[in-house]
């Protein structure tokens, strides 16, 4: 009995000592690193924007709301994966310049493919909107949650629509030859009889 009690005391003392030592170690590291004023300003802006997002974000507590939220996050991850795929396929750089050259047919096929995937996600979001509308009528106590989820759904729909337009522009850029490549030879082309 005394062995179990003493081992529990020693284990808890070890945990407490580790907790305090890691905190002091983290404080020592942060005091050693010096940051510029710009990074401090950027961090303050990021912190203030995060606080605003947390204030606006409503915590979903109901079981029905959580299932809808899971569906929304899966659609959101699908849209981000499609965006990454678009950027990789068209070779988009940071300046939104397309590095890849495609024929009109190939660019059109890729545009239609990505457009179809994004339209499918938009349709999923519309179905979620209809489901949320019926839940608002059924569960009147959770209307704030459902309104927040509906707003997120609308935001994702707008994101998907913007991606469709971006893919269209990228496909046009990839299929049209650049003006730099269209050099004409105008010197010395005379014919003699």
pLDDT at residue number 125: 96
Tell me the pLDDT tens digit for each residue of 41-96. Answer: 555 555 555 544 544 566 778 888 899 999 999 999 999 999 999 988 888 877 66
- Lowest-confidence pick of 7-21, 28-42, 56-70, 107-121: 28-42
182 domain residue, yes or no: no
The verdict on residue 124 lying in a domain is yes
- Residue 105 is assigned to a structural domain of this protein: yes
User: How far apart are the C-alpha atoms of 181 and 193, rounded to whole Å?
Assistant: 33
Instruction: Output b/e per residue, 85-110; b: 16+ Cβ within 10 A.
Output: ebeebbebeeeeebeeebeeeebeeb
The confidence band for 177, taking pLDDT boundaries of 50, 70 and 90, is confident
User: Is residue 21, in this structure, part of any structural domain at all?
Assistant: no
Q: Is residue 33 part of a domain?
A: no
Compute the 3-state secondary structure of the chain and give helix, strand, coil in percent, each to the nearest 5: 80, 0, 20
- Report CA-CA distances (Å) from 100 to 14, 97, 164, 181: 59, 9, 18, 14
Domain that holds residue 79: 60-177
Examine residue 14 and state whether it is found in any structural domain, yes or no: no
Neighbours of 174 (CB within 10 A): 22
| Structural domains counted in the chain | 1
**Domain-embedded: residue 76:** yes
Give a yes or no: residue 39 inside a domain: no
């Amino acid at each position: 009995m005394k062995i179990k009690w003493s081992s529990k005391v020693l284990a808890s003392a070890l945990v407490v000592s580790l907790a305090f030592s890691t905190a002091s170690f983290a404080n020592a590291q942060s005091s050693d690193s010096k940051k510029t004023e710009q990074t401090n300003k950027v961090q303050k802006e990021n912190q203030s924007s995060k606080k605003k997002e947390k204030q606006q974000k409503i915590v979903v507590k109901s079981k029905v709301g959580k299932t809808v939220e899971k569906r929304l996050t899966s659609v959101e991850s699908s849209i981000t994966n499609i965006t990454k795929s678009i950027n990789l396929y068209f070779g988009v750089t940071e300046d939104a310049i397309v590095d890849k050259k495609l024929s009109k047919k190939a660019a059109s096929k890729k545009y239609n493919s990505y457009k179809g995937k994004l339209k499918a996600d938009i349709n999923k979001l519309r179905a979620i909107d209809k489901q949320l509308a019926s839940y608002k009528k059924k569960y009147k106590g959770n209307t704030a949650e459902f309104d927040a989820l509906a707003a997120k759904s609308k935001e994702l729909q707008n994101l998907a629509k913007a991606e469709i337009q971006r893919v269209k522009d990228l496909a046009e850029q990839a299929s049209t030859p650049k003006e730099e490549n269209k050099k004409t030879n105008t010197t010395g082309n005379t014919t003699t009889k």
